[in-house]
Amino acid sequence: MTADDKALLKTQVEKILLIQGNQFIKELLRENSLPIGSTKKDFLTNITNAIDEDRLTREMIEAWLKQVEGWGNQHLYLFEPPEITPQDAREAISQSEFSPLIEQGFGYEFPDDLQLTNIELGEEGISLVWQQGKEGWNRTRAKDISPQQEGLEVYKYEAYRQRFDRSTVRFEWRFADPFVGILIHRSKEIDHSTAIELVWQGVSALGICAARTARISLSRAVKSASDGDVETKSTRFGTDDGHVEMVSNLASGGINDVAAVRQARLGLNVDDFPRAEGAFVMNEEGFNLSRDLSIKVVGSIGHVAIWAHCKRDDIYTVLDNLIALNAGDNDE
């Protein structure tokens, strides 16, 4: 790598470090046997030194980004898989106008609007990646200016600190799965309906399927999970005419750790409620995840929100578990 390449890579990495979770930056350093440190400043120093000393290359950073960027801290929507065969799908994509994006690699610069930037065609599945860079504003009360009189008026100034979000939207189809997923990074700048529409337009333009497929209901999964299979922070079972909601206020447990709520849950015939949603904790040990994950599932629209930053494998572990819990779903 030339000195210019290294300088460019360092600038790009600096931007990424600002928004990446510390846990995953540590993992990049640990996996490559580099000094770790404890603050973002330490991480940046160690990564910069490693780039200078050729101990950290662009390829190594891209491989790491592929695992962690755009996974977790996001919303997922599940749909039925397209009817096209994997082989036909690969051929259709290769012949489409987007074929130059195949295996384009992970972009460091994010466009202002959602754009399809990368297509991964693997033996086991297809992954389409849209990226968007946006600014956001964090309220910073410490920088507020106390009310000041100007003439006859009094003015109050509230401070916001600018931040940059790198948002990723994915269309994920593992051929063996009974679902495809649209994964939307949690960002106020992304309207979910618009993003989902954009993804399906892209999928259609790639020749994978002409129209969007049906959503997968996860109501059965919510019902099974809240029966004790998964730590349940809250559930809401609904009909057209009303709903029942149960919530745990415990830090160390869910609704099944509160006797009165647990017994209320036992008194419920959940089959009478076509819709179900819930907030759950899937723990690291019980579900073989890289960390504990808080998730929210809105069953009727096949929507899963995962609050923490995690890895690709974690997302699939969560989805595989939900699909297993969902077996026999016949709700709305």
Partner 1 sequence: MTNNGAKEWEAELARRQHVGDGLEFLPESFLRTVGDTPTGDSFELWLKKKVSQGELVTLEAWQCPVEGCGRVIDKSEIEANVCPKCGTDFQEFGEDPIRQTRYRAKGESSRDIYWMIVIHGMNTRGAWQEELSWRLANKLKYSAPVLIYKYGWATIDVLVKRCHQSLVNKLGIRIREAIRFANEHNNNHCPDVIVHSFGSQLFALLLESEEFSDLKFGRVITVGSIIHPDFVWSRHMDSGKIEAVLNHVGKKDARVRAAQFFIPGTGPSGHKGFTDSASINVPEQSYGHSSAFEPSELKKNLGTGGLWDQFLQSPLNHFKPSTAFRLEEWKPFCVLVRCATRFLGYLIFAVLAPFSFVRRLLDP
Output 92 or 308, the one with its CB closest to partner 1.
Answer: 308
Output 22 or 94, the one with its CB closest to partner 1.
Answer: 22
Alpha carbon distances (Å) from 101 to 48, 114, 277, 317: 29, 15, 37, 28
Q: How far is the CB of 68 from partner 1 (least distance, A)?
A: 14
> Tokens for 49?
């030194």
Measured on CA atoms in the order 255, 257, 258, 260, is the torsion positive or negative? positive
Output 213 or 294, the one with its CB closest to partner 1.
Answer: 294
Helix (H) / strand (E) containing 223: helix 219-224
Q: How far is the CB of 204 from partner 1 (least distance, A)?
A: 31
Output 206 or 255, the one with its CB closest to partner 1.
Answer: 255
Output 9 or 295, the one with its CB closest to partner 1.
Answer: 295
Rounded to 5 degrees, what angle do the CA atoms 320, 196, 222 make? 35
Q: Which residues bind partner 1 (CB under 8 A)?
A: 21, 73, 136-141, 163, 186, 188, 227, 233-234, 248-253, 256-260, 262-264, 266-267, 279, 281, 291-294, 296, 305, 307-309
Residue count (the chain): 332
Q: How far is the CB of 295 from partner 1 (least distance, A)?
A: 9
> Tokens for 298?
């809105």
Output 32 or 73, the one with its CB closest to partner 1.
Answer: 73
How far is C-alpha 222 from the chain's CA centre? 19
Asked if 174 and 81 count as a contact pair (C-beta separation under 8 A), the reply is no
Q: How far is the CB of 252 from partner 1 (least distance, A)?
A: 5
Output 180 or 325, the one with its CB closest to partner 1.
Answer: 325
Q: How far is the CB of 294 from partner 1 (least distance, A)?
A: 5
Residue type, 236: R
Per-position DSSP letters for 277-288, written without gaps between them: EEEEEE-HHHHT
Gap between the Cα atoms of 73 and 133, Å rounded: 16
As a whole number of Å, the end-to-end CA separation of the chain is 56
Q: How far is the CB of 241 from partner 1 (least distance, A)?
A: 22
Q: How far is the CB of 148 from partner 1 (least distance, A)?
A: 20
Residue where the block lists tokens 């309207």: 191
